[in-house]
Amino acid sequence: MQGVGYRAFVFNLAERFELSGVVQNLTGEVLVEAQGVASALDAFAAALVSAAPPLARPQVVSCQPIPLRKLTGFEILLSAVAAQADIHIPPDNYLCDDCRREMLAPNDRRYRYPFINCTQCGPRYTLITRMPYDRPHTTMAGFPLCLRCRAEYEDPHNRRFHAQPLACPVCGPQLSFVAAHQRAHKSVGGDAALDACIAALRRGEIVAVKGIGGYHLVCDALDPLAIARLRASKHRPHKPLALMFPWQGEDGLQRVRAELQLDAVTQAALCDAARPIVLIPRRADSTLPDSIAPGLNEIGVMLPYSPLHHLLLEGFGSPLVATSGNVSGEPVLTDNTGAETRLSNVAQAFLHHNRPIARPADDSVLRIIAGKPRLLRAGRGIAPLEFDLPFSLPQPLLAVGGHMKNSIALAWNNRAVLSPHIGDLDAPRSLEIFEQVIADLQQLYSVKAQAIVCDAHPGYASSRWAAKQDLPLYRVQHHHAHASALAFEGGQGKTWLTFTWDGVGLGEDGTLWGGEALLGRPGKWKRVASFKPFCLPGGERAGREPWRSAAALCWESGLAWQSNARDVVLLKSAWQHGLNAPVTTAAGRLFDAASSLLGLCDIASYEGQGPMLLEAVAQNDFESRDAEAIGLPLHEDENGLLVADWTPLLHALRRDEVPVAQRAMQFHLSLAHSIVKQAQRIHARTPFDAVGLTGGVFQNKLLAELAMQQLGAAGFEAYLPQQAPCNDGGLALGQLIEAASKNISR
Ligand SMILES: [Zn+2]
Ligand SMILES: [Zn+2]
């Protein structure tokens, strides 16, 4: 435990029970020696766990009697490096209530100070440069404490005792505001910077605001013109934008409640210590412009989490768009010059501060599915995400994840850590951050990887990087990794039937999988069911152009594709000859095809656009209420693989006389129905304990809930990932589990 105020807590507790002794940090573990009256010692021992500060969550490693020593009072000793380091890197914490109160109190010396923090709040992961966690090892090293801050820092009775990012207006970081057209000439600081930023936002400008884990691009969420300008300059015509709401009313949620449908689970997720982005359905009377999330019913919403965000939102008084300040798909930008250079075409102004960010952490994203919050992106406040492994590793392992939505994972002994979301590995900056996070996590946790795990696809940038390292390399099949991540989380020791549905991943037979059911357990998966394969015209381009998947299904079925354009005729001829038309079974491409056949999306401007629009349109209850599932024929091929035929779905999707919403709902119902049918057929042949649903397709709430419900009704235990993303963001964790299980069972 570090940076959570635990030693000061122990000190104060010892004083209360009139004990003498010492407390010391041993990189991750805390050593407490106490002596006094026996009954007081017992009460003290119990309170060490039960009354601990909220962020500490301590566990007793061991407890033993020791010889009496001559001691006067209770002392906090300097940190020592333990031989067996058991380091935990805390994630970044939202502004605590005590600090928020101080920040709003006019006679407090930190009144309206945007970098106020204490042992219970403030940045951690994005500010630690090395361990042990002490101020010189953070990006606050360049801010010497003033006398008053030093006194607080050294006083164990103070709630800022050894709060490493401790700061005040005299000695700490400052804001600066720069308008793009007068860069390098004029910048204003302090309250004037905040005022200038708010004035710019009121004029409809786009401001890049530096936060905890990087920059946000910010504009007025109620101003359709500002949103249109942001979209045009960021080349993001449709991708949903996240909003930050002002903290208003008694519980802070008054404004959110006016625009969105809040229930207890959603509310708890929104107020979680990680302060994530939560996808929440709009209210029918919402005043938010449609252009925030065109064609979708849900909006990504978060509450202010840093003191700066609180002040900004309070000053503006109304929701702001707060989307990642990055170049499409790359990690969020973190340094002042980099942001000014790379966001110069988008932002009209910059609200900087001079506290350096050690490494990026994008906002975390949650969606409530089947009554529980499911992590879709691990980021600020949540990552590094720690897991206990059910086995002990003989040597440290590094897993480098997939290609899109990359994150990496590190494991040693019986521990695993998943990094925050890094991004899509196409761009040089993404690769730079990818390498930095790999180096940083090993350095911070004092672990040196002795072997690497990567995806079986040799073309992924992560796999290419892994192959260049001078370490033993294990290649794990994409969907085996997804299935193993689910089995790890959902219950080890069970035999699972796991539906791994996503875009595409290289399969064991060289085709592109993505609609499989895998039977077994980590290290031992068998492909038992799949979809009828089809050929994707144009290969990789099909992922961005749903019409290609629609054309593929039509051509496979001997039907004409609606377009007779010259290039489509050429494409069909190439497809017939098998040129650049890889074989796939990907469920994600079936969703793409459906979105195109229903006229929702022919070309996607962001990943998952077609399927997201398809899900949203199906939720039109009035039009979709008559939809009924169609049975998809199942047959066994010569290898005993169960194959689900999508052909009847294609015919249903093409029935133009049926309302679009009804056809979209029918598509979802039929796939959920097919999951149950497949599970029943397989269970009759080879019994299993539980059904898992994972892969990016199950970010689809409608499909996931229908499938969970129907599996439950059919008597199956069903599980959907919660702690690690079911999309490729959780792949690295699964790679670790799969590779370790294979090697251990060998
Ligand atoms: Zn605080
Ligand atoms: Zn100070």
Ligand 1 centroid distance, CA of 103 (Å): 10
Query: How far from 461 is each of 201, 419, 468, CA to CA, in Å?
Result: 39, 17, 11
Same domain, 135 and 21: no
Kind and range of the H or E run holding 265: helix 264-270
Query: In this predicted structure, what is the pLDDT of residue 83?
Result: 52
The CATH number that applies at residue 411 is: 3.30.420.360
Ligand 2 centroid distance, CA of 93 (Å): 20
Q: How far apart are CA 211 and CA 339, in angstroms?
A: 12
Q: How far apart are CA 591 and CA 596, in angstroms?
A: 9
Ligand 1 centroid distance, CA of 120 (Å): 5
Query: In this predicted structure, what is the pLDDT of residue 703?
Result: 98
Same domain, 599 and 662: yes
Mean of all residue pLDDT scores within the chain: 94
Ligand 1 centroid distance, CA of 218 (Å): 25
Ligand 1 centroid distance, CA of 153 (Å): 13
Indicate the pLDDT class of residue 35, thresholds 50, 70 and 90. very high
> By the 8 A CB rule, do 591 and 606 touch?
no
Same domain, 43 and 10: yes
Work out the average pLDDT over 453-471.
Answer: 97
Ligand 1 centroid distance, CA of 55 (Å): 11
Ligand 1 centroid distance, CA of 96 (Å): 4
The CATH number that applies at residue 616 is: 3.30.420.40
Same domain, 564 and 582: yes
Within a domain: residue 152?
A: yes
Work out the average pLDDT over 314-326.
Answer: 96
Positive or negative: CA dihedral 728, 733, 737, 742? positive
Ligand nearest to the CA of 145: 2
Q: Which of 222, 210, 212 is nearest to 165 (CA)?
A: 212
Ligand 1 centroid distance, CA of 532 (Å): 56
Ligand 2 centroid distance, CA of 4 (Å): 20
Two tokens at 155?
Answer: 């006083």
Within a domain: residue 379?
A: no
Within a domain: residue 263?
A: yes
Q: Which of 4-18, 69-83, 312-326 has the lowest mean pLDDT?
A: 69-83
Ligand 2 centroid distance, CA of 35 (Å): 36
Residue with the larger pLDDT of the pair 492 and 700: 700
Work out the average pLDDT over 703-723.
Answer: 98
Q: Regarding beta strands 583-584 and 534-535, do their DSSP bridges make them parallel or antiparallel, or are they unpaired?
A: antiparallel
Ligand nearest to the CA of 97: 1
Ligand 1 centroid distance, CA of 94 (Å): 8
Query: In this predicted structure, what is the pLDDT of residue 183?
Result: 55
- What strands lie across the sheet with 349-353, from one edge to the other? 187-189, 175-179, 349-353, 207-210, 215-220, 320-324, 243-244, 298-302, 277-281, 365-369, 372-377
Ligand nearest to the CA of 152: 2
Within a domain: residue 634?
A: yes
Work out the average pLDDT over 308-314.
Answer: 97
Indicate the pLDDT class of residue 266, thresholds 50, 70 and 90. very high
* Structural domain total, the chain: 5
Query: In this predicted structure, what is the pLDDT of residue 260?
Result: 98
Same domain, 114 and 30: no
* DSSP structure string for 74-115: EEEPPP---SS-----PPPBPPPHHHHHHHT-TTSTTTT-TT
Ligand 2 centroid distance, CA of 190 (Å): 15
Ligand 1 centroid distance, CA of 148 (Å): 17
Domain end call among 29, 45, 76: 76
Same domain, 423 and 467: yes
Residues 6+ apart with CB under 8 A from 736: 397, 399, 409, 411, 416, 453
Within a domain: residue 18?
A: yes
Indicate the pLDDT class of residue 492, thresholds 50, 70 and 90. confident
Same domain, 538 and 661: yes
Q: Regarding beta strands 215-220 and 207-210, do their DSSP bridges make them parallel or antiparallel, or are they unpaired?
A: antiparallel
How many other C-beta atoms lie within 10 A of the C-beta of residue 64?
4
Work out the average pLDDT over 376-385.
Answer: 96
Domain end call among 443, 476, 509: 476
Ligand nearest to the CA of 160: 1
Ligand 2 centroid distance, CA of 3 (Å): 18
The CATH number that applies at residue 108 is: 3.90.870.30
Ligand 1 centroid distance, CA of 102 (Å): 9
Domain that holds residue 132: 87-172
Query: In this predicted structure, what is the pLDDT of residue 513?
Result: 97
Query: In this predicted structure, what is the pLDDT of residue 746?
Result: 45
Ligand nearest to the CA of 167: 2
Q: How far apart are CA 503 and CA 697, in angstroms?
A: 8
Within a domain: residue 278?
A: yes
Which of 558-562, 573-577, 647-651 has maximum average pLDDT? Answer: 647-651
Same domain, 42 and 120: no
* DSSP structure string for 368-414: EETTEEEEEE--BTTPSEEEE-SS--SS-EEE---SSSB--EEEETT
Please give the share of the chain, as a percent, with pLDDT higher than 70: 97
Same domain, 519 and 638: yes
Ligand nearest to the CA of 118: 1
Same domain, 532 and 648: yes
Same domain, 38 and 65: yes
Ligand 2 centroid distance, CA of 107 (Å): 16
Domain end call among 28, 56, 76: 76
Within a domain: residue 143?
A: yes
Q: How far apart are CA 575 and CA 556, in angstroms?
A: 10
Ligand nearest to the CA of 121: 1
Work out the average pLDDT over 642-671.
Answer: 97
Query: Does the pLDDT value for residue 82 go beyond 70?
Result: no
Within a domain: residue 64?
A: yes
Please give the share of the chain, as a percent, with pLDDT higher than 90: 85
The CATH number that applies at residue 24 is: 3.30.70.100
Residues 6+ apart with CB under 8 A from 272: 366, 373
Same domain, 558 and 639: yes
Work out the average pLDDT over 575-585.
Answer: 95
Residue pLDDT, tens place only, 521-540: 999 999 999 999 999 999 88
How many other C-beta atoms lie within 10 A of the C-beta of residue 66?
9
Query: In this predicted structure, what is the pLDDT of residue 1?
Result: 57
